[in-house]
Structure 1
Amino acid sequence: MTTAPAGWKSYTTSDGTLTFDYPGTWSVKEVDGAAALVSDYGKTMARLRTQVGPGPACTTKSQFMVYDSAPIPALAQSGTTPRFTYEARVNATAADPSKPNTFAYGITAAPEPTGTEACPISHVFPWPPRSASFGGVYDPFDTTPGKPMHVDTPEVYKDTTEYKYIKQAMMSLRPAGK
């Protein structure tokens, strides 16, 4: 059985299949069938859903960046080991210059991107009886009240306590009871 870090709490999904740990100053709220991981200043950092369908089809590809990636062996199913990833996709056709990229972190079973282009971000992984999804978005223009000082690059965000907490919470996801 995994032990949460000192001062952290554990949450088990309403269907009783998955558990993760999160900072004691944060909370988890049930919203529209999902478990929303909420920071101490009230921002939803990520959502966990069980019993979801497959990820999006890969109909178009775009340039991508991967900032962080790590396997999560506790979630392995039928020879597939999901991984935590923090990544971006470039939207070269965005009309708003503040929205050319999508930055997101989550757990995926999609193949790791290679080359210069990748499928859309899909934070979905196999979990009986269907699939599960656990992910969130990094917005470099976020001005949520109470949020720690503005961080304007995904590389710098990776070094923040907020990001480290998010990653640690997602990496702790495991079958309930383990």
Structure 2
Amino acid sequence: MVRRFEPSLAAAALVMVLLAGCSPQPASPQPSRSSAAASAPATGAPAPPTPSDVPSSPPAETAPGAPAVSSAAAAWTTFTTADGSMAFDLPAGWRVKDPAGELAEGGGAFAEVRNQAGKIMATLRTNMATGSTCTERYPYEILDTVDVPALVQGGEVPQFVFESRANAPTPGLYSTPAAGYGITSGPAASGPDACPIFQFFRWPPNAAMFGASYDPNNNATPGDPSLPYLDLARKYRGTSEYSDIRKMITSLRPVQH
């Protein structure tokens, strides 16, 4: 069965193949970053940069099933992509590399977000060619979801989703069990099983992505590190780091010119 925009991290490898010549290139100067309150509305252009860093906080858990609330006292900034097309908010201590590599043919955005420790929290890419074939289905769990109305296309509102797939006894980046968070335009998983995670959303001229796979060695997760992978993913949902990632990704919006 062929499904377009069926959410999956596995197909990220396919997409990277489609984007010919996408090899890393030396870091380039960052575009301007402007101070912004976490609740500030989208703005068309960033203000002068603010060179303040916010110390990272150790992972902390909240009640199961409820994402942690990002510290209201922490400073946030607004980042605008190098191509001037998209903007999003992020903690002031986090850094963005843009471009993070060679762009797709025709340009677009390619931004990599890292926290204070230098670990990748999410990657934003636009102008992507996507496609997936659903040949296997897996047990799944939707850990968190929220609409992203600023990215509506054709009356369809994409969603930020933190989800998992389970099958194999050990985790693998593009196999199962696996978990990932990001924006998707695909239909929500339903029934007893689902296709692999494929988190891309419709955005001119083709598609875009803003998210990452969950890796307990990269994403600061409290508790016993020897716990099963999917248990760690559930615990991560209650951390302040995850709350910041969720807030950052769901703040993505087009820049108004």
Q: TM-score, normalised by structure 2?
A: 0.61
Aligned to 1:87: 163
Structure with more strand by fraction: 1
1:121 to 169, 181, 197: 197
Max Rg structure:
2
CA distance in 1, matches of 2:160, 2:210: 9
- 1:93-130 Cα offsets, whole Å, 9 max, x none, are x6xx3544111000001100001111111111011111
- 2:142 aligned with 1:49, yes or no? no
2:87 to 10, 16, 19: 19
RMSD: 2.4
1:62 is paired with a residue of what secondary structure?
Answer: coil
- 1:89 Cα offset (Å): 1.1
1:154 is paired with a residue of what secondary structure?
Answer: helix
- 1:59 Cα offset (Å): 2.6
- 2:116 aligned with 1:40, yes or no? yes
Aligned residue runs from structure 1 range 22-171, under 5 A: 22-30=90-98, 31-32=100-101, 33=103, 34-92=110-168, 97-99=170-172, 100-140=176-216, 142=217, 149=222, 153-171=232-250
CA distance in 2, matches of 1:35, 1:76: 21
- 1:143 Cα offset (Å): 6.2
Structure 1 outlier segments of 4+, above 3 Å: 3-6, 147-152
1:50 and 1:63, CA in 2 relative to 1: closer, same or farther beyond 3 A? same
2:163 is paired with a residue of what secondary structure?
Answer: strand
Q: TM-score, normalised by structure 1?
A: 0.86
Moved more, 7-16 or 70-79: 7-16
CA distance in 1, matches of 2:243, 2:131: 25
Moved more, 104-113 or 5-14: 5-14
CA distance in 2, matches of 1:84, 1:143: 20
- Alignment gaps of 5+ in structure 2: 1-40, 47-71, 104-109
1:35 and 1:104, CA in 2 relative to 1: closer, same or farther beyond 3 A? same
1:143 and 1:17, CA in 2 relative to 1: closer, same or farther beyond 3 A? closer
- 1:36 Cα offset (Å): 0.6
Amino acid at match of 1:89: R
Whether the 8 Å CA contact 1:55–1:123 is kept in 2: the answer is: no
- 2:253 aligned with 1:174, yes or no? yes
CA distance in 2, matches of 1:86, 1:124: 13
1:124 and 1:148, CA in 2 relative to 1: closer, same or farther beyond 3 A? closer
Aligned to 1:8: 76
CA distance in 1, matches of 2:218, 2:86: 32
CA distance in 2, matches of 1:59, 1:79: 29
1:98 and 1:104, CA in 2 relative to 1: closer, same or farther beyond 3 A? closer
Whether the 8 Å CA contact 1:45–1:137 is kept in 2: the answer is: no
Alignment coverage as a number of residue pairs: 172
Amino acid at match of 1:136: A
